[in-house]
Amino acid sequence: MIEQLDSLSAEFVGALESLNDEAAILKLKSEYLGKKGKVSEILKGLRNATADERKVIGPKANGLKEEINQLVATKLQKIELEVINKKLEKNKIDLSNRDELWLQKLNHGGVHPRTLIQREIEDVFLSMGFEVLDGPHIEDEFHNFEALNIPSDHPARDMQDTFWFHDPQSDEKEKKLLRTHTSTIQVRGMRERKPPFRFIAPGTVFRCERTDASHEMVFNQLEGMMVGKDISVGNLIYFMKTLLKEIFQKEVEVRLRPGFFPFVEPGFELDIQCLICKGKGCSVCKKTGWVELLPCGMVHPNVLKAGGIDPDEYNGFAFGLGLDRLVMMRYGIDDIRHLNSGDLRFNSQFQAY
Amino acid sequence: MLISLDWIKDFSKLPSNISPQDLGLRLTMGTAEVEGVEVVNGFWKKIKVVEVTEKVPHPEADKLNLVTFKLNEEETFQVVCGASNVRVGMKAAFAPIGTTLPIGLTLEPRKIRGVLSEGMLCSEEELGLSESSEGILDMPADTPLGVTLETLWEKKEDVLFDIDNKSLTHRPDLWGHYGMAREFSALYESDLENPFDESWSQKMEALFNEESAPMGVSVHEDSSCLGYYGLSLDNIKVEESPSWIKDRLLAVGLRPINNIVDISNYVMLELGMPLHIFDRDLIKGDKVVIKEVGEETSFTTLDEVERKLLAGDTVISDEEKPLVLAGIMGGLNSGVNDKTDKIFIEVANWQAARVRKTSTRLGLRTDSSMRYEKTLDSNLMYRTLLRTVELVKKVCPEAQVIGKPQYDGQDLSKDNPLKIDISVEVINKTLGAEISTKKIIDILERLDFGIVHKEETLEVTVPTYRSTKDIECVADIIEEVGRVIGYDNIEPQNPLLNVEPVRLNPLQELRRKAQDFLTLHTQSFELNTYPMVGQALLKKASWPGSELKLLNSLSVDQSEMRSSLIPNFLEVVAMNAKNFDRGRFFEWGRTYHHEKEGYASEKHILGIAYFDKEESQILNLLNDTQRLTKFLNLPIDIADKHPKFKNELVDEEWIGLHPFEFKNLRVMGKMKGCVMSVHPALLKQFKIKGHVSIALIDMTGFEKNAPKAKVSYKPLAKFPSSRFDYTVVMNTEQNLDQIFSALKKVKLAVKCDHKLVTTYQPDQETYVTMAAILSDPQKTLPGEIIKECEEKIINALKKAGFPLKEG
């Protein structure tokens, strides 16, 4: 009987080998394993076997059943795979033909480069506890000039620099204008808060200036202010160095020199070492090795007063940053006018994906 | 402004081992921005006196000679020379190879027609001594051989600092060399020499006498005059200035004219206060009157330009006519000329704002007006007058003062200098530095501040010339100390701060989320456009103009504030359609609206535009807008035009509106936005082919109250739902919304969700296949309930005009 089982196994393997059709394979399987199949037939003879023989034949027969099942399953899987692969081959995708898809649909998007830089700076300052503020574009003389210690005879109030809605020489009560700097937000920020506080204010500003590759009449600045007790020039330097390190992702050489702005005292110009020539002197830095980047200073007592803050109790620092200048530096943009042009040939270069 | 180091050295002995570049850097870091440092006149020490020993014709050229000359008994040189006046025995000026001449030429070894020339014999022109000259410089026969011109003519090498005028806006005291010298002295701790002390004044005053002044001074109160000194001198001889005056004027960029005019410029450049000198014979009458121009009048200034003066401009007049435009420029009619022998010196001070107003209006900014604009100290007038007299006497020893200085204007003796109390602690705390009291006092004293050291505080007396505009409070004193110490010497200090949570405000959060969604999920690019628009664009877009018009716009295309993003968007599409068949962009921008109260209001508008040459993008835009508002948690729903509640951003009568492709975006009953297509007829105006759809959402008002997320969890169904599909017929007058609103009204015993499966339009009618999904959280639905629901739904739709499709 054992021999019978062994020969049956060999016989099945031989028979299966030649088959390539699912139905035929299943039929073959039932010829062996079905109720009246060959294995069952053999096992019928078990009744005549001795107890010792049964001990051997039982497992042997089960092993044969399992073997046949396994062989059939494997064979069927192989056939199925061949069928699928044939189908796949028929519908093969040309992986090199991606451009056609690009052509048919819109596949890119991205924010304005200003947004990219603005977010970076906002995030640096948010992480250091600064709020982010903005204010109206249409302002009055008080917020744009008076409150910032710019007296009525200051050249900044002339028609040249400021877009006016009302004649600055007229007797009208509230002469409206387009804000010429984000410092107006300082004034509003101070009047809405109690010290200590700190905030930044990115925003659009307007200058009555002829436009060219490096001048715009509508551009973006970023202003910052911190007011509290015993704020020092040392603190200002700390925040400016931190900001620059974060923006440029490396230590940047800076220098702080006197600069005159009516709303700060002392006032500074912060220069960074020219990133193009690394301080050796080139056309970008006008051979000086330094690029003017950040006007800043300690808030003028008159400005604090106008903001409703007692300058004997509190002081603070403020700084301004030409956001668009930074955008141009970062991306090597040669003409500031692109920023407001709405030209997708420009904007689509800043694709996020 | 150019500052000469040589001139500075008249007053301040600077350490000699510092390079010109370092001097400039120190000034930049401590006082004012130096834009350039230039070493000039170095050539004088290279050029030497030689004697011509031989002159032979050049073998190759008719007009050239080979000239041999000796520098001393040992050294001889040969040059090729074209000058006709060369002769043997002549003394000439020799510039060797390597010399850079003032005309900008650097001499290099070169062959002229085959003969090597070892330098150059110079002409006056080449040495910058005159504007043109013939032949080479012919020097007196007794000129010693071999000496440099530097020694012979006392010419000096100089260093010029080019200082950024803007950084001197608040420092009128630095508009003269004496003031700059004080800065150098403070920065280098070298002593300032003050030649203008009490004994000097007495020496000058000794020139005054008891004769009656031939020219009086009268200042009208309403004029811009703060004070006016006048002094008459006779026996003046107008001629060329001595070279020490000419050289200094030339060095800082002023053209010498004659000794008297040059002196007035010299004194201004030295002491920072402008002055004017008249030919006294050209003044009619016996006094000058300083007054406002009564009515519009014309006046010809020294530069021979006729200028229109308006009532309110201040002039200095004689009994007939205006002579000088106060603080700005003298008139052609009274200036010093070759024949002048009697002069009248004016040293005056003027109101800064009024000088600036007139000079700005006339577009006439002079060395004088630039200084007066900065607000000068009236106390400086007298010193300026004495210094002028000193120089006139030096240059014209014969000159004679007639009488005493005449003065009219504010009483100068009443001016009390400003005193500021400040503690050393405040200085150090504010700077974040540790500076000793001794050092602080030293710095301030070098800057001419008076110090009285009281127990805790310093009482600082501010020099009057610093307190006209600049120094007024404690912070200003801190700046003086800080800048001399050098801000770069202050260590960065991380402050101790309260920890409080900060985040963007709700509007800023919305903006970031919208930017991210639109770029990542709708393939759009963010743009910025101009907040100002012009009539031409508005007209093209049939969009109404704004009352918010700029008085001084630079261009007709940017003359008023926009009230909508739509005109900008159309312009942008028109431009981009030239390069792209389709595109999507958005802008988070402001629009501006005239208000009775407070003049103007501003809206934060999110605008999105899809343009496509082939097919309308309105459905995509509607869906994307809906997804966006959901992402932003905005309480917005899409609604049709409403007879009563009109859209707040777009006039529903605007001819640019597409007749069918329009939906309101409704926020709490208000139409705060829309999704629409632009009418093809308007697109034609912009030469846009294809389709343009625009969505606008008014985001104003979300600054304070963040929209809240409305997601809530529902337990998952435990029992299977039951679904049946059906198809109804829709005619051309009907739409899908009507099907859904009819279904909404059907009351069923169990929960039912309705879904659109597909639409198919073989002909006029559209077949709409819908699915109804019935479910009960408690049990599996029995067949009869499902049947009942089916019937109710089909009947309801039939009633609403959507019969079941047959067959």
Distance CA B638, CA A332 (A): 43
Q: Are B804 and B751 in contact (CB under 8 A)?
A: no
Query: In this predicted model, what pLDDT tens digit does every residue of A144-191 receive, in sequence order?
Result: 999 999 987 776 676 568 999 998 777 777 889 999 999 999 999 999
**CA A259-A261-A264 angle, 5° bins:** 95
Nearest CA in chain A to B355: A153
Distance CA A231, CA B432 (A): 8
Closest CA to B184 of B407, B25, B347, B54: B25
Q: Is A20 exposed, middle or buried (0-12, 13-18, 19+ CB in 10 A)?
A: exposed
pLDDT score recorded for residue A129: 94
Residues 6 or more apart whose Cβ sits within 8 Å of residue B286: B214, B215, B216
H or E stretch covering B391: helix B380-395
> In which residue ranges of chain B is CATH 3.30.56.10 found?
2-41+158-188, 419-489
Q: Are B697 and B635 in contact (CB under 8 A)?
A: no
State whether A237 and B356 contact (CB < 8 Å): no
Chain A neighbors of B29, CB-CB under 8 A: 255, 257-258
Q: Is the peptide bond before B140 cis (omega within 30 degrees of 0)?
A: no
Q: Cβ of A351 under 8 Å from any chain B Cβ?
A: yes
State whether B479 and A265 contact (CB < 8 Å): yes
Nearest chain A Cα distance for residue B593, angstroms: 10
pLDDT score recorded for residue A103: 65
Distance CA B518, CA B198 (A): 77
Distance CA B105, CA B122 (A): 12
Structure tokens at B168: 């001197």
Q: What is the Cβ-side half-sphere exposure of residue B283, based on CA atoms within 13 angstroms?
A: 28
Provide the residue type at B372 as one letter.
Y
Q: Are B218 and B407 in contact (CB under 8 A)?
A: no
Q: Which of B493, B502, B523 is nearest residue A130 as measured by Cβ atoms?
A: B502
Strands B306-309 and B322-325 turn out to be: unpaired
Provide the residue type at B142 as one letter.
D
Distance CA B673, CA B666 (A): 7
Chain B neighbors of A210, CB-CB under 8 A: 554
Tell me the angle at which helices B20-30 and B474-485 cross, rounded to the nearest 10 degrees: 160
> In which residue ranges of chain B is CATH 3.30.70.380 found?
722-799
Distance CA B510, CA B118 (A): 77
> In which residue ranges of chain B is CATH 3.50.40.10 found?
198-414
Distance CA B552, CA A23 (A): 91
CATH 3.30.930.10 for domain B506-698, yes or no, is yes
What pTM, to 2 d.p., does this model score? Answer: 0.83
Q: Are B281 and B340 in contact (CB under 8 A)?
A: yes
Per-position DSSP letters for B170-186, written without gaps between them = T-GGGSSHHHHHHHHHH
Pick the CATH number of B198-414 from 3.50.40.10, 3.30.70.920, 3.40.630.10, 3.40.50.300: 3.50.40.10
Q: For chain B, report the end-to-end CA distance as a whole number of angstroms.
A: 96
Q: Are B324 and B301 in contact (CB under 8 A)?
A: no
pLDDT score recorded for residue B469: 85
Distance CA B771, CA B401 (A): 113
Q: Quickly count helices (H) and strands (E) in chain B.
A: 20, 36
Residues paired with residue B50 on neighbouring β-strands, in sequence order:
B92
Nearest CA in chain A to B590: A137
Q: Is the peptide bond before B15 cis (omega within 30 degrees of 0)?
A: no
pLDDT bin (cut points 50, 70, 90) of residue A101 is low
> In which residue ranges of chain B is CATH 2.40.50.140 found?
43-153
Residues paired with residue B666 on neighbouring β-strands, in sequence order:
B637, B671
φ, ψ of residue B314 in degrees (nearest 5): -95, 135
Q: What is the CA radius of gyration of chain A?
A: 41
Q: Are B4 and B177 in contact (CB under 8 A)?
A: yes
Distance CA B67, CA B60 (A): 14
Nearest chain B Cα distance for residue A88, angstroms: 30
Nearest CA in chain A to B485: A257
pLDDT score recorded for residue A160: 64
Question: Does residue A43 surpass a pLDDT of 80?
Answer: no
Closest CA to A227 of A319, A119, A137, A124: A319
pLDDT score recorded for residue A102: 64
If you search the block for the tokens 């929209």, which residue do you land on?
A: B707
Long-range pairs for A344-348 at CB < 8 Å and ≥24 separation? A344/B525, A344/B527, A344/B576, A344/B579, A344/B580, A344/B583, A344/B585, A345/B576, A345/B579, A347/A110, A347/A112, A347/B525, A347/B526, A347/B527, A347/B585, A348/A108, A348/A110, A348/B525
Distance CA A82, CA A74 (A): 12
Which superfamily is assigned to B43-153 in CATH? Nucleic acid-binding proteins (2.40.50.140)
Structure tokens at B161: 């600092």
Distance CA B306, CA B301 (A): 6
Calculate the CA dihedral of residues A242, A247, A253, A255 and round it to 10 degrees.
-70
H or E stretch covering A11: helix A2-18
State whether A342 and B475 contact (CB < 8 Å): no
Q: Which of helix, strand or coil describes residue A91? A: coil
**CATH code for the structural domain at A113-350:** 3.30.930.10
Q: Cβ of A312 under 8 Å from any chain B Cβ?
A: no
Q: Which of helix, strand or coil describes residue A24? A: helix
Please tell me the class of the B722-799 domain. Answer: alpha beta
Closest CA to B324 of B292, B349, B298, B301: B301
State whether A339 and B528 contact (CB < 8 Å): yes
H or E stretch covering B754: strand B751-760
Structure tokens at B176: 């003269």
pLDDT score recorded for residue B45: 87
Structure tokens at B698: 């008014």
Chain A, residues 273-292, CB within 8 A of chain B, namely 286, 288
Query: In this predicted model, what pLDDT tens digit does every residue of A195-207 receive, in sequence order?
Result: 999 999 999 999 9
**pLDDT less than 50: residues of chain B:** none
The edge-to-edge listing of strands for the beta sheet with A315-322 is: A131-132, A197-206, A218-228, A315-322, A290-299, A264-273, A254-258
Provide the residue type at A194 as one letter.
K
Helix, strand, coil percentages, rounded to 5, for chain A: 45, 20, 35
> In which residue ranges of chain B is CATH 3.30.930.10 found?
506-698
User: Cα dist. B804→B509, B727, B744 in Å?
Assistant: 48, 6, 18
Cα dihedral B215, B218, B223, B229 sign:
positive
Nearest chain B Cα distance for residue A229, angstroms: 10
pLDDT score recorded for residue B43: 87
Distance CA A114, CA A343 (A): 15
Distance CA B705, CA B503 (A): 14
Q: Are B230 and B299 in contact (CB under 8 A)?
A: no
> In which residue ranges of chain A is CATH 3.30.930.10 found?
113-350
State whether A347 and B527 contact (CB < 8 Å): yes
Nearest CA in chain A to B483: A258
CATH 3.30.56.10 for domain B419-489, yes or no, is yes
Structure tokens at B599: 């003049």
Distance CA B738, CA B801 (A): 9
Structure tokens at B24: 């400039």
pLDDT score recorded for residue A17: 87
State whether A260 and B432 contact (CB < 8 Å): no
State whether A137 and B590 contact (CB < 8 Å): yes
**CATH code for the structural domain at B2-41+158-188:** 3.30.56.10
Question: Does residue A64 surpass a pLDDT of 60?
Answer: yes
Chain A, residues 188-247, CB within 8 A of chain B, namely 196, 198, 204, 208-211, 217-218, 228, 230-235, 237-238, 241
Rounded mean pLDDT of chain A?
A: 89
φ, ψ of residue A223 in degrees (nearest 5): -110, 150
Nearest chain A Cα distance for residue B711, angstroms: 28
